[in-house]
Amino acid sequence: MFPVRCFTCGAVIAHKYEDYKGLIDSGKSPKEALDELGIKRYCCRRMFLTYKSVLKEFARYHGAVG
């Protein structure tokens, strides 16, 4: 799951994650999306840029592992 807060500065970022995903899906670059959402500091920006969801990966094996 996407981290609730930025690891470094502690600002809440998770409430913007779905908007970010929507902007990326609409064809915007990560830079444009982050600028639009007002994520200014690079500590918070990297939280979005480097996030990879693993929960969905787990779900693919649902049933196989119980």
Partner 1 sequence: MKVEVIRDDGFWTEFILRDSNPAFANAWRRAMKSHVPVMAVDYVDIYMNSSYLYDEILAHRIGLIPLKTNLEKFNLQNQCVCGGEGCPSCQVSLRLNVEGPRVVYSGDFVSDDPETVPVFDNIPVIELFEGQQLMLEAVARLGFGREHAKFQPVSVCTYRVLARVRINESCSSCRKCVQVCPRNVFSVDEDRVRVIDEFSCTLCKDCLKVCEENAIELTETDDFLFTVESIGQMEVREVARRALDAIKSKAQEMVSLMEEL
Which position among 22, 41, 42, 49 is part of the footprint of partner 1 (CB under 8 A)? 41
Torsion of CA 17, 23, 27, 33, to 10 degrees: -80
Structure tokens at 16: 């913007």
The CB-of-23 to partner 1 minimum distance in angstroms stands at 15
**DSSP bridge pairs for 5:** 12
Residue indicated by tokens 């939280």: 47
Cβ closer to partner 1: 12 or 49? 12
- The residues binding partner 1 (CB under 8 A) are 1-2, 4-6, 9-12, 14-15, 17-18, 41, 55-56, 58-59, 62
